[in-house]
Structure 1
Amino acid sequence: MRAKVRSLAPTMTRSVHAVAQAVASDPAACAKLTVTALAERTGTSEATVVRTARLLGYPGYKDLRLALAALAAQQESGAAPAVTADIAVDDPIAEVVAKLAAEERQTLADTAAGLDHAQLAAAVSALATARRIDIYGVGASHLVAQDLAQKLLRIGLIAHAHGDPHLAVTNAVLLRPGDAAVAITHSGSTGDVVDPLRTAFEHGATTVALTGRPGSPVTHYADLVLATSAPRETELRPAAMSSRTSQLLVVDCLFVGIAQQTYETAAPALAASYEALAPRHRATAPSGKRTPRQESP
């Protein structure tokens, strides 16, 4: 919860941030409060409390209270707390590994807890039935876009990842109802990703935004929003690194869901791709001693 509030803080108003900070700081106490009581405790309004719950990824305040109660129970059970310590330049490598592993685990847990299952299911259905799928992302998010595209291609779907913003827009112009477009951007405000998604939206394609900032510009042109979580950015770990972990989890959820929905065609397609690649990747053990390569005369 703390990680989610931290990642969403830049998009929050002062009153929403007050409510979010309260529930993150003391989930056990807030889980016992009615919407009116929490509004009084934070000096805000009931509407602000409900708005905060939705910003955090819950349909309403009742759902947020249930999540807070579960979090409080987990804390009382003695579960290991999240480790979010900064990595210092003089940290030994063993400590770097431990800190990164702890943050990766927490990032995955936060993303899974905050993922809207209804939005995810709708995105799975839209992509599984799309005539064509365009995927937009730049920088580290383009690597995630490529991962999603190659996964979908291997189960027989027509999918393309666009890292060139001009190519992305010119392809988006050709999308129509029955097509789908996915924008991947942690900040939600990367123009080179927002622009093609807006174009796809305006041409009738079903649009999906995978972002760490619900309410950011990219979501204005998204029919469906899949929210991710990420540890805060540090000097030695920029947002591009930390956000990629949560994005890849959502990509895997999408892929498995689509493969389930299209199993009759997906399974043979996967089998065929494995069979085609197997001879190329089969290594043979060397026989005898290693000999130096002979230079050509």
Structure 2
Amino acid sequence: MNDHDGPTPGNLVATVRAVLPSLTPAAQAIARLILEDPAMVARSTITEFSAVSGTSEATIVRTARALGFAGYSQLRFALAAAVAREEPERLVPGDLGPDDPLTDVIAKVTRAESEALADTAAQLNPDRLGTVVEAMVAARRVDVYGVGASGVVAVDMAQKLMRIGRPGHAFADAHLALTSAALMGQGDVAVGVSCTGETPDVIAPMQLAHKGGATTVAITNNPRSSLAELADHVLVSAGRETAFRPGALASRISQLLIVDCIFVGIAQRTFETSQAAVRATRSALDEYMADTRRRNK
């Protein structure tokens, strides 16, 4: 698996949120304090923070390293920079409550979607994205695995590839996904889409495709997940799911942002053939719609 980029003030929020589910209980307590009161953590020595968090200094250092920092000092510096950027306002967006009026629902949902896009963009590495694009451009075929809300994203990627004449197929059924993955090998690309990175119906075909020699790509919120561990390339999305929004739009829209960036990158590198395919498919659809209108007159 490719190494991940170290967090910066611009992507610290997304990094903490993404890694949180995979941390130990003690480390999760530390991470939640970082999200809830970053200014306090930034001004606390490791001894002071140990007392506040009720965890050992060694656990704090391990947590800082799990978040991508060399140690606690580097984490403090990044938090101080985030505070200076007014980043803390975004650390704990208001979750939806059962009694929220619809005006608050609109505001909170809109804010969550906007932050998901911004956080995803902040941690989307252009070099890694370019490597994925090049692999797909050269691929004999691209298979995309995803179920539930992530299955919608998988279908979107396959549809976009088909529109520009690239060989792409989406699989939401585990049996069909495994059948497809068993036939993948060198020169093929397998893409797994999973918010948690722990979806068995995605992991199983990805493991099989990887074993066969295919290039594997993970699109996931959790860079420390099982899916990320078996992928050659990991592209991290940043949407959060909450009690009122399982399969939330924020999760899908952050994944779709990555899909769109991949799609545009492929279209750029195959410009002539992609444009010809777009013209041909648009012409076919326009002709169909014109015929339909004539029949309905």
67, 90, 112: which one aligns with 1:53: 67
The unaligned stretches of length 5 or more in structure 1 are 286-292
Whole-Å separation in 2 of the counterparts to 1:23 and 1:212: 19
Partner in structure 1 of residue 24 of structure 2: 13
Letter of the structure 1 residue corresponding to residue 16 of structure 2: V
Q: Are 1:74 and 2:88 an aligned pair?
A: no
Whole-Å separation in 2 of the counterparts to 1:88 and 1:32: 32
What root-mean-square deviation, in Å, do the aligned CA atoms of Structure 1 and Structure 2 show? 3.4
Partner secondary structure for residue 44 of structure 1: helix
TM-score norm. by structure 1 comes to: 0.78
Partner in structure 2 of residue 250 of structure 1: 258
Contact 1:153–1:159 (Cα < 8 Å) also in 2:
yes
Partner in structure 2 of residue 176 of structure 1: 185
Letter of the structure 1 residue corresponding to residue 153 of structure 2: V
Distance 1:22 1:134, change over 3 A: same
Contact 1:15–1:48 (Cα < 8 Å) also in 2:
no
Whole-Å separation in 1 of the counterparts to 2:24 and 2:67: 13
Shift of 1:224: 0.7
Shift of 1:86: 3.0
Partner in structure 2 of residue 289 of structure 1: none
Distance 1:67 1:180, change over 3 A: farther
Distance 1:220 1:69, change over 3 A: same
Shift of 1:84: 2.5
Contact 1:20–1:52 (Cα < 8 Å) also in 2:
no
Partner in structure 1 of residue 219 of structure 2: 210
Residues 18-48 of structure 1: CA deviation (Å, up to 9, x unaligned): 6645654565787799xxx769955137973
Contact 1:181–1:205 (Cα < 8 Å) also in 2:
yes
Letter of the structure 2 residue corresponding to residue 252 of structure 1: D
Letter of the structure 2 residue corresponding to residue 243 of structure 1: S
Letter of the structure 2 residue corresponding to residue 74 of structure 1: R
Letter of the structure 1 residue corresponding to residue 116 of structure 2: T
Q: Are 1:153 and 2:162 an aligned pair?
A: yes
Contact 2:240–2:248 (Cα < 8 Å) also in 1:
no
Whole-Å separation in 2 of the counterparts to 1:65 and 1:264: 49
Greater helix content: 2
Contact 2:220–2:234 (Cα < 8 Å) also in 1:
yes
Q: Which stretch has the larger CA shift, 221-230 or 60-69?
A: 60-69
The unaligned stretches of length 5 or more in structure 2 are 1-11, 51-56
Letter of the structure 1 residue corresponding to residue 67 of structure 2: A
Partner in structure 2 of residue 131 of structure 1: 140
Contact 2:217–2:233 (Cα < 8 Å) also in 1:
yes
Whole-Å separation in 2 of the counterparts to 1:184 and 1:225: 10
Residues 190-223 of structure 1: CA deviation (Å, up to 9, x unaligned): 1111000000000000000111111211123211
Contact 2:221–2:237 (Cα < 8 Å) also in 1:
yes
Whole-Å separation in 1 of the counterparts to 2:47 and 2:33: 10
Partner secondary structure for residue 85 of structure 2: helix
Q: Are 1:224 and 2:236 an aligned pair?
A: no
Contact 2:16–2:67 (Cα < 8 Å) also in 1:
no
In percent, how many aligned pairs have the same letter? Answer: 43
TM-score norm. by structure 2 comes to: 0.78
